Amino acid sequence: MPSRYRRSMSSPYRHLFTLPGTRAFTIGNLIARLPMGMFSVSAILMIAGSRGSYALAGAVTATGLAATAVTAPWIARLVDRHGQARVAVPATTLAALGSLALLLCVHYDAPDWTLFTAYAATATTPNLGGMSRARWAHLLKDDTAALHTANSFEQAADELCFMLGPVLAALLCGTFFPEAGTLTGAVLLLTGMLLFTAQRATEPPIQRRKPAKAPLRTPGMPPLLAVCLALGAVFGSMEVVTLAFADAQGHKSAAGAILGLQAAGSCAAGLLYGATKPTGPAERRYLYCIAAMTALMALPLLAAALTGSLLVLAGALLVAGMATAPTMVTNMTLIQRHTPGGRLNEGMTLAVTALLGGIACGSALGGWTTEHLSATAGFWIPVAAAAAALMIALARALPGTLRRTNSRPAH
């Protein structure tokens, strides 16, 4: 790597954006990624406001989530095989048309089944974060420290988009008209994708050789995906339980801001984590991060059980969120290492799919617990899910530890 591009320890993030083309593709990707935090909230507000049914709105968004879980790995495989620009632009166009179709179906009072069909079409949206991470992995393949910083930046960007997206969606739908959030999201998605894919110089090259082994069959990958599933359950259950707790306190309108604090804590921790030089093997950092996350997830439970104060819970969520980004950054680093060459987008999309599946399961379990027991009891679910992630990670690390122990000479 030329000396003028070498990593500066005083400003590791500045170093990333001295590389030609990185600013342009990052801006385009962030514009396209912001709607990922807008679409579900916009759809719920639009459908519930028009049809008067949160049950219908929830069912429609759940259908979209299920369709994404099925479609996303297939889209990612096509991206790896044919290139980001050739696949992502038509796939994003179809997703944007699906959003517009949903808008029209709601506006013109079409039958309920059309809402499910239209929203399912949005599942063709490519994994935007995965494509951006793939570009960083290509550009920084010889600089492990800089790649760590880039992955941290991408995780912080995820948190920022999912923190600002719902707020923007609610503002647009409430200030202008119910369809404003969905319409704005579709325009931002397509515009950002066109800007992102126009940066061809930073696009990872297509692998022309024989396709590598599927990431799911790669040794070490299934446990990593299982951890993603458990982490998704942490996020999904915490969201539902926090909403229920705020509602029980008579402050449901404040729940969004409280959850935003958790994302803010994660975003800040992610940026700080990326600014530090990683020490020791990533596998060891992985265990430390998940252990810290498990411990910190007990804070919201203690805040709810011991104080019953929404203000104290907000502070607990802010601190608990600080373990999220370092854990996800290290997880994505290991997934990149275990994914065969030429299938990086697919590997990272499988991780996102596992997260989405965990979010769906965590939401359902958290909702059941709050309804049949209490909102306070529901805070046990994210603690248990984080503990399950830790057990999976320990089980994954144990065989390697035993091999190293057995290989040492006897004294």
In tens, the pLDDT along 233-253 reads: 898 888 778 878 887 877 766
Average per-residue pLDDT for the chain: 83
Structure-model confidence comparison of residues 4 and 233, the more confident one:
233
Q: Out of 154-158, 178-182, 360-364, which region has the weakest mean confidence (pLDDT)?
A: 360-364
Cβ contacts of 293 within 8 Å, gap of 6 or more:
234, 323, 324, 327, 386, 389, 390
pLDDT in the model for residue 9: 40
**Cα 40 from Cα 398, distance rounded (Å):** 40
Q: Out of 44-53, 285-294, 398-407, which region has the weakest mean confidence (pLDDT)?
A: 398-407
Question: 3-class DSSP state for residue 130?
Answer: helix
Residue 16 has pLDDT above 50, yes or no: yes
Mean pLDDT (whole number) for 277-282: 76
Taking CB atoms within 8 Å and a gap of at least 24, the contacts of 166-173 are: 166/37, 166/38, 166/41, 166/256, 166/260, 167/256, 167/260, 168/34, 168/37, 168/38, 169/37, 169/38, 169/39, 169/41, 169/42, 169/45, 170/41, 170/45, 170/256, 172/42, 173/42, 173/45, 173/46, 173/49
Select the CATH number that applies to the domain covering 20-151+166-206 from these four: 3.30.470.20, 3.40.640.10, 3.40.1000.10, 1.20.1250.20. Answer: 1.20.1250.20
Question: 3-class DSSP state for residue 33?
Answer: helix
Sign of the four-CA dihedral 93, 175, 38, 149: positive
Residue 409 has pLDDT above 70, yes or no: no
pLDDT in the model for residue 26: 92
Q: Closest Cα to residue 124, out of 79, 181, 170, 164?
A: 79
Structure-model confidence comparison of residues 108 and 213, the more confident one:
108
> Cβ–Cβ contacts within 10 Å for residue 73, how many?
21
Residue 277 has pLDDT above 80, yes or no: no
**Cα 203 from Cα 117, distance rounded (Å):** 33
> Cβ–Cβ contacts within 10 Å for residue 345, how many?
29
Residue 303 has pLDDT above 50, yes or no: yes
> Cβ–Cβ contacts within 10 Å for residue 354, how many?
21
Cβ contacts of 227 within 8 Å, gap of 6 or more:
290, 331, 389, 392, 393, 396
> Cβ–Cβ contacts within 10 Å for residue 130, how many?
24
Residue 346 has pLDDT above 70, yes or no: yes
Mean pLDDT (whole number) for 192-201: 92
Confidence of residue 189 (pLDDT cuts 50, 70, 90): very high
Mean pLDDT (whole number) for 277-306: 88
Mean pLDDT (whole number) for 208-237: 79
Residue 1 has pLDDT above 80, yes or no: no
pLDDT in the model for residue 256: 66
Residue 118 has pLDDT above 80, yes or no: yes
User: Which residue shows structure tokens 């819970």?
Assistant: 313
pLDDT in the model for residue 20: 87
Where do you find CATH 1.20.1250.20 in the chain?
20-151+166-206, 208-406
Cβ contacts of 410 within 8 Å, gap of 6 or more:
none
Confidence of residue 102 (pLDDT cuts 50, 70, 90): very high
Tokens linked to 377: 């009891």
Per CATH, the architecture of 208-406 is what? Answer: Up-down Bundle (1.20)
